[in-house]
Amino acid sequence: MGKGSGQREVKPGDSLRAGIEGAPIEPGDRMSPGIQFEEPLIFERSRTGRRGFVLGQGDWDVDDVDPAAELGGGLFRDEPAELPEVSEPEVVRHFTRLSQWNYSIDAGFYPLGSCTMKYNPKINEATARMAGFAQLHPYMPDQWCQGALELLWRLERILCEVAGLPACSLQPAAGAQGELAGLMCIRAYHQSRGDTQRTRIIVPDSAHGTNPASAAFNGFSVVEVASNADGTLDPAAVEAVMDETVAGLMITNPNTLGIFEKEIEAICEVVHRGGGKVYMDGANMNAILGKARPGDFGIDVMHFNVHKTFSTPHGGGGPGGGPICVSDDLEPFLPVPRIERSEGEDGPVYRRDFDGHPQSVGKVKAFWGNFLVYVRAYTYLREYGSDLPGISERAVLNANYMRARLSDTYNVAYPGRCMHEVVFDDSSFRDFGVSTMDVAKRLIDFGFHPPTIYFPLNVDGALMVEPTETESLRAIDEFVEAMETIHAEAEHSPQLLEAAPQNAFRNRLDETTAARRPILTYRQLREER
Amino acid sequence: MDIPENYRFSDDHEWTDDQGDGTVVVGISHHAQDALGDIVFVELHGEEGVLEQGDDFGVVESVKTVSDLFAPVSGEVVAFNEALEDEPELVNEDPYDRGWIVKIKMSDPSQLEELMDAEEYEAFLTEGA
Q: Say whether pLDDT at A4 is over 50.
A: no
User: What three-state secondary structure class fits A324?
Assistant: strand
Strand-strand pairing, A301-304 and A324-326: antiparallel
Contact at CB, A515 and B63, closer than 8 angstroms:
yes
- Residues of B with Cβ-Cβ distance to A454 under 8 angstroms: 64-65
Contact at CB, B41 and A515, closer than 8 angstroms:
yes
Contact at CB, A457 and B65, closer than 8 angstroms:
yes
Residue A405 sits in the same domain as residue A479: yes
Q: Is A426 among the domain residues?
A: yes
Residue A187 sits in the same domain as residue A270: yes
Q: Does B129 touch chain A (CB under 8 A)?
A: no
A466/A486 Cα distance (integer angstroms): 18
A420-447 pLDDT, tens digit per residue, is 999 999 999 999 999 999 999 999 999 9
Residue A444 distance to chain B (closest CA, Å): 19
A313-358 pLDDT, tens digit per residue, is 886 556 889 999 999 999 999 999 999 999 999 999 999 999 999 9
Residues 6+ apart with CB under 8 A from A122: none
Residue A355 sits in the same domain as residue A454: no
Which residue of B lies nearest to A514 if distances are taken between CA atoms?
Answer: B40
- Number of independent structural domains in chain A: 2
Across A1-5, A25-29, A454-458, B97-101, least confident range: A1-5
CATH of the domain at A228: 3.40.640.10
Residue A296 sits in the same domain as residue A437: no
Q: Is A35 among the domain residues?
A: no
A44-97 pLDDT, tens digit per residue, is 999 999 988 887 777 778 888 888 888 887 888 888 888 999 999 999 999 999
A526/A43 Cα distance (integer angstroms): 11
Q: Is A296 among the domain residues?
A: yes
The rounded radius of gyration (Å) of the Cα atoms in chain A is 26
Which bin fits A281, alpha (ψ -120 to 50), beta or left (φ > 0)? Answer: beta
Q: Is A136 among the domain residues?
A: no
Q: What is the pLDDT of residue A8?
A: 40
| Contact call for residues A86 and A50 (beta carbons, < 8 A) | yes
Residue A349 sits in the same domain as residue A260: yes
Q: What is the pLDDT of residue A261?
A: 96
Which bin fits A447, alpha (ψ -120 to 50), beta or left (φ > 0)? Answer: left
Q: Is A304 among the domain residues?
A: yes
- Residues of A with Cβ-Cβ distance to B64 under 8 angstroms: 437, 454
Neighbour count for residue A379 (Cβ, 10 Å): 22
Give the H or E element holding residue A115: none
Residue A271 sits in the same domain as residue A223: yes
Q: Is A487 among the domain residues?
A: yes
In order of A55, A119, A389, the CA distances from A240 in angstroms are: 71, 43, 36
Residue A337 sits in the same domain as residue A424: no
Strands (E), chain B: 8-9, 14-18, 23-28, 39-44, 49-51, 56-62, 66-70, 75-80, 102-106, 116-117
A245/A247 Cα distance (integer angstroms): 6
Contact at CB, A512 and B65, closer than 8 angstroms:
no
Q: What is the pLDDT of residue A245?
A: 97
Residue of A221, A426, A430, A512 to mutate when probing chain B, most B C-beta within 10 A: A512
- Residues of B with Cβ-Cβ distance to A460 under 8 angstroms: 35
A106-154 pLDDT, tens digit per residue, is 999 999 999 999 999 999 999 999 999 999 999 999 999 999 999 999 9
User: What three-state secondary structure class fits B69?
Assistant: strand
B49-92 pLDDT, tens digit per residue, is 899 999 989 999 998 888 899 999 999 999 999 999 999 999 99
Residue A436 sits in the same domain as residue A299: no
Query: Phi and psi dihedrals of B76, rounded to 5?
Result: -110, 135
Residue A352 sits in the same domain as residue A462: no
Which of B61, B63, B65 lies at the smallest CB-CB distance from A511? B63
* Amino acid occupying residue A324: I
Residue A305 sits in the same domain as residue A187: yes
A303/A159 Cα distance (integer angstroms): 10
Contact at CB, A512 and B38, closer than 8 angstroms:
yes
Fold type of domain B8-118 = OB fold (Dihydrolipoamide Acetyltransferase, E2P) (2.40.50)
- Residues of A with Cβ-Cβ distance to B89 under 8 angstroms: 512, 516
pTM confidence score:
0.86
* Amino acid occupying residue A120: N
Residue A415 sits in the same domain as residue A353: no
Contacts with A, B 41-60, CB within 8 Å: 41
Domain that holds residue A187: 166-310+322-369
CATH of the domain at A440: 3.90.1150.10
| Alpha-carbon dihedral A456, A457, A463, A466, rounded to 10 degrees | 0
Q: What is the pLDDT of residue A2?
A: 35
Q: Is A231 among the domain residues?
A: yes
A409/A490 Cα distance (integer angstroms): 11
The rounded radius of gyration (Å) of the Cα atoms in chain B is 13
Residue A338 sits in the same domain as residue A195: yes
A450-486 pLDDT, tens digit per residue, is 999 998 888 989 999 999 999 999 999 999 999 999 9
